[in-house]
Chain A
Amino acid sequence: MAQLKERPKPFLLPDYCKGCGRCISACAKHCITFDKEIDAATGYVPVVIDLDACNACGLCMDACPEPYGLRETPQDVDFELQDPAKLFGSKTPRPEPKVVPNTLIPLPKTEPLVIKGNYASALGALLAGCRHVFGYPITPSTEGAELMAKLLPKLDGTFLQAVSEVAAVNHMYGSGGAGYPCMTFTSSPGFSLMLEGVSYMIGAEVPGVFVNIMRGGPGLGNIAPEQSDVKLACRGLGHGNTHAITLMPSTPQEMLDLTMLAFELTFKYRNPVVILGDGYLGQMTGKVNLPAAMIKPGIPTWAVNGDADHRGNLISSIYLSEHDLEMHNIYLNDKYRQMEENETRSESFMTADAEILIVATNTPARASKGAVQDLRRQGIKAGLFRPITVWPFPVNQLMKDLAHVKHMVVVEASNGQLEDEIRLALSKAGVTQLPVMSHVRHFGGMLPQQTEVLAHVKAILAKEVR
């Protein structure tokens, strides 16, 4: 068009004109005026152009706020044309976005590392292919971010200390939306701040891993271990109909293994995954073995990767039409159901003939395991059920372990948040005859100890014998 000798004059389809009049005030030649009648298709009064008076200065076209309002078009185009596809020519099809698959990079066998839970989780993320970490310091999770800040520059990755947890989760939204495995380390008050973003990520199906090393609350509380964000993770991930797989590791080794798993699951379902650890677990140093391979991530088809391949993609959680939003939620619910079917995980320890079943997660599960061993030595049929996912709750596995159970003891560092999950799961599964339930609970930063669990079970038995 630039080669045309004559400068092009403006061309308008009245149906695209909103009658704002900005072209009228722009035209020095006064050749644009409002039409006489309302356009039936638009409800607006479009303009008409006196092309004979026009000198093709182009000012009206620059002034029109509609992309396809006033355009430069050869004047021989049929004004009556109603089909935009014909008018603008058919669209050049974009290439279908390709999947770039993950690659496995084999690692030689190495001696076990002796590292903190937080470090183990950071290494798990790196092994899972994560090279983009966004964080904001908060005890007792900070070492994770600190290690990432140290290692990522060496691996040509990015650690960004965000201006807040609100910013951190939105950095993740940008990074995850581009198809990159990304994560954050936080602790309870920080996780609260991230929940807006988590809801958006779930709505827009953006993957990302959240490691929440729980501390004492509510409010500023303290920096000692608690397990009081179970409810937040299982029942309250921001506004709307939200769920995310929530993993509760128990050892530094599991901090690594479950972080790796979290990345697999977050991409499998295009949904955030939460890791809940108690403050002890983040700080605890232990033996950690590295896996046999590291993952080099590919690019998923859906990513808004800013390249030609992925140009048509969109990351968004808006569905203005009620019907569309309902369909989206039905779709999300279907995903949640698949997670419930396929992703429940748990550990059962000496449960086959257990009459007393202790249920605990994180560090309290280790103390409880010790208590089970003590009890078994004394001839008491005790067992431990450890949910590894608290959402979805491994209720089928739990039901199997309940066969001989007379008494269930929930051991947790919260005011019954795990117990509520157990009751809800059993009730939803149709279990109406619950075994007697009691609990060993602490909050405020103390964890239930092996000796307490032992004493509690002994007290139960003493009463039952009486």
Chain B
Amino acid sequence: MSVFYDKFERHSQGAGLKGNSTHYCPGCGHGLAHKYLAEAIEELGIQENTVLVSPVGCSVFAYYYFDVGNTQAAHGRAAAVALGHKLSNPEANVISYQGDGDLASIGLAETVSAAQLGAPITVIFINNAIYGMTGGQMAPTSLMGQSTATSPDGRSMYNGQPMRMAEVIAGLDGPVYVERVALFDAKNRRLAKKAIKKAVQCQVEGRGYAFVEVLAECPTHLKMSPEDTEKWVKECMVPIYPLGVKKDLATESWWKRPAPNFEADHFLHAVGASSDTTVRHCDAFPVHLNPADISLKLAGSGGDGAQTAAMLIARAAINEGYDATHIPSYGPESRGGTSYADVHVAKDEVLNPASPHPDVLIAFNAPSLAKFGPTVVKGGTIIYDSSIVKDVPPGIDPGVRVVGVPFTEIAVDLGKAVVKNIVALGALQAATGIFPKATLTAAIGQMLKDKCALIPLNEEAFAWGVKAVEELGK
């Protein structure tokens, strides 16, 4: 059998004559399952592109024996490791080999989710009704009444009941092939070998996820001779874990994944980067607002568009060759509530990206105006939605200029309430002269470059915002 190493050199005893026997106890089912898996790999001719993921448990050292790519995984995580490998390296045949403590207990979530994902990996599940490696503790698969190191008086209802993994996995939509087999006699061994080969073949053919549960003997911790263990598996385990095919779908091959793309143009297009130089409209930093770093705050309720408007200001500033930042702040997660944005526009480098004391506040509703109005610095500007806020609250520094513009009314008149943030941008431009109009409209155009039809409406909203402030000034 070429799929096994000629000599088990990774084994600590590999140097001596015992370099050709396994570390498993006499009569252990792992050895048989290994043989059938090795034969399957050999017969399918896939030794050159197979990766075996070995688990934590007695079979942790499966990599001593299999002459294929080998990865050893943390307790319970073999299926997740196998999946990560398969998704990155779709050509490889990835086999996750796991015990019952590993697969059905600590790694249950990884097991079930990998199965449901349905990617073509092969899972060989050794159910010996006990934890082997750590000394015979109760497994999720231990039988009722079975006494183990951690159920010394026998598994009772208080310890839960045996877990039928093949049925659990077969009940999911992801897998294409699920079978339970056993190793206790010649007929079943032949079926086991066939099932393991078929499970690997499902993967080779790109047909999907396959799972074989193998009822295996652990003579050591069942504390019986190998022969009696065979009998125990047959007489006690099989009634609880019925053998046979649980699921076998006639799926077509579907697993085809192209190699990742590394073309420069394709990449730049995907990320929205452009080599077209942006036109500058502004000849000097708006030092009349602040000599080096203008701080703005835009506040409203979720949906007012404060974040989009904030983004547009930042983008406009960067187009003009300055530095800018925008930090959004939402209410608790996505459940509505207030939302505000801190924006900085700096001549050279934004240092403090928060706006605890803004030069400019745009308030979309009364609570925002009440909360942040008093934080605006002397000489600063407040622009608020006068369609919504009827009275300017007290507490605002008399040195602050307060401008009311009916953002919502204007936007509704234009037929789309959502453009009220663009009205606000127009008002900002007219009230502060932060940048020339063209700077801001260019940024709007850039943002809408994939939705060109919306540009005229937005430009109109902007113009109305400008006009509203200019009229106030008259």
Contacts and interface: CB of A to CB of B under 8 A. Distances in A.
Contact of A287 (B6, B27, B323): B323
Contacts of B225: 21
Contacts of B61: 318
A155 B4 contact: no
A420 B428 CA distance: 46
- Which of B12, B31, B35, B84 is the most central at the interface, judged by chain A CB atoms within 10 Å of its CB? B84
Contact of A67 (B17, B65, B185, B261): B65
B167 interface: no
Contacts of A20: 26-27, 219, 226
Interface in A6-46: 13, 15-16, 18-22, 24-26, 41-42, 44
Contacts of A283: 327-328
A126 B271 CA distance: 10
Interface string B322-335: 01111110001100
Given A21-B225, A25-B230, A84 B20 contact: yes
Q: Give the size range of B's interface with the partner.
A: 35 or more
Contact of B88 (A105, A129, A182, A450): A182
B190 A155 contact: no
Contacts of A114: 311, 314-315, 318, 324
A65 interface: yes
Interface residues of A, number: 111
Interface string B270-304: 11111111100000000000000100000000000
A68 B4 contact: yes
A306 B71 CA distance: 10
B34 interface: yes
A95 to B, nearest CB: 11
- Which of B83, B185, B324 is the most central at the interface, judged by chain A CB atoms within 10 Å of its CB? B83
Contact of B333 (A200, A204, A223): A223
B270 A154 contact: yes
B70 A18 contact: no
A373 B349 CA distance: 12
A305 B68 CA distance: 10
Q: Taking chain A's interface residues, is the majority helix, strand, or loop, or is none over half, making it mixed?
A: mixed
Nearest to B20: A68
Contacts of A280: 327, 353-354
Interface string A59-75: 10011111111000000
A123 interface: yes
B7 A84 contact: yes
Contacts of B53: 174
Given A16-B20, A170-B81, A174-B85, A67 B34 contact: yes
Contact of A449 (B29, B193, B356): B356
B171 to A, nearest CB: 17
Q: Taking chain B's interface residues, is the majority helix, strand, or loop, or is none over half, making it mixed?
A: mixed
A128 B464 CA distance: 46
Nearest to B38: A67
Contacts of A296: 262
- Which of B6, B21, B328 is the most central at the interface, judged by chain A CB atoms within 10 Å of its CB? B21
Interface stretch (A362-370, A430-438, A456-464): A362-370
A174 B71 contact: yes
Interface stretch (B44-52, B359-367, B379-387, B408-416): B44-52
A175 interface: yes
A156 interface: yes
- Which of A64, A67, A223, A286 is the most central at the interface, judged by chain B CB atoms within 10 Å of its CB? A67
Interface in B171-221: 185-186, 189-190, 193, 219
A162 B314 CA distance: 34
A132 interface: yes
Interface in A136-178: 139, 151, 154-158, 160, 162-164, 166-167, 170-178
Contact of B272 (A113, A177, A286): A113
A224 to B, nearest CB: 8
A139 B117 CA distance: 25
B278 A67 contact: no
Contacts of B276: 111
A187 B274 CA distance: 31
A367 B344 CA distance: 12
Nearest to A223: B333
B113 A366 contact: no
A16 to B, nearest CB: 5
Interface in B66-86: 67-74, 77, 80-86
Contacts of A110: 268, 273-275
B397 interface: no
B1 interface: yes
B87 A171 contact: yes
Contact of B278 (A111, A252, A366): A111
Nearest to A164: B109
A411 B219 CA distance: 62
Given A41-B18, A114-B311, A107 B74 contact: no
B369 interface: no
A327 B435 CA distance: 64
A158 to B, nearest CB: 5
9 contacts: A24-B227, A84-B19, A114-B324, A156-B257, A178-B51, A305-B89, A314-B70, A316-B72, A367-B351
Given A65-B34, A174-B53, A223-B332, 8 more contacts: A65-B27, A111-B276, A111-B277, A111-B278, A172-B84, A304-B71, A305-B92, A313-B70
Interface of B: 1, 4, 6-7, 10, 12, 17-22, 24-32, 34-35, 38, 47-51, 53, 60-61, 63, 65, 67-74, 77, 80-89, 91-94, 109-110, 112-113, 117, 185-186, 189-190, 193, 219, 225-227, 230, 257-264, 266-268, 270-278, 293, 311, 314-315, 318, 323-328, 332-333, 350-354, 356-357
Interface of A: 13, 15-16, 18-22, 24-26, 41-42, 44, 59, 62-69, 82, 84-85, 88-89, 91, 103, 105-114, 123, 126, 129, 131-132, 134, 139, 151, 154-158, 160, 162-164, 166-167, 170-178, 180, 182, 196-197, 200, 204, 223, 252, 280, 283-287, 290, 294, 296, 304-308, 310-318, 320-321, 363, 366-367, 369-370, 373, 447, 449-451
Q: 10 tightest CB-CB pairs across the interface, nearest first?
A: A65-B31, A306-B92, A174-B84, A171-B84, A370-B351, A20-B27, A170-B80, A163-B113, A174-B85, A316-B72
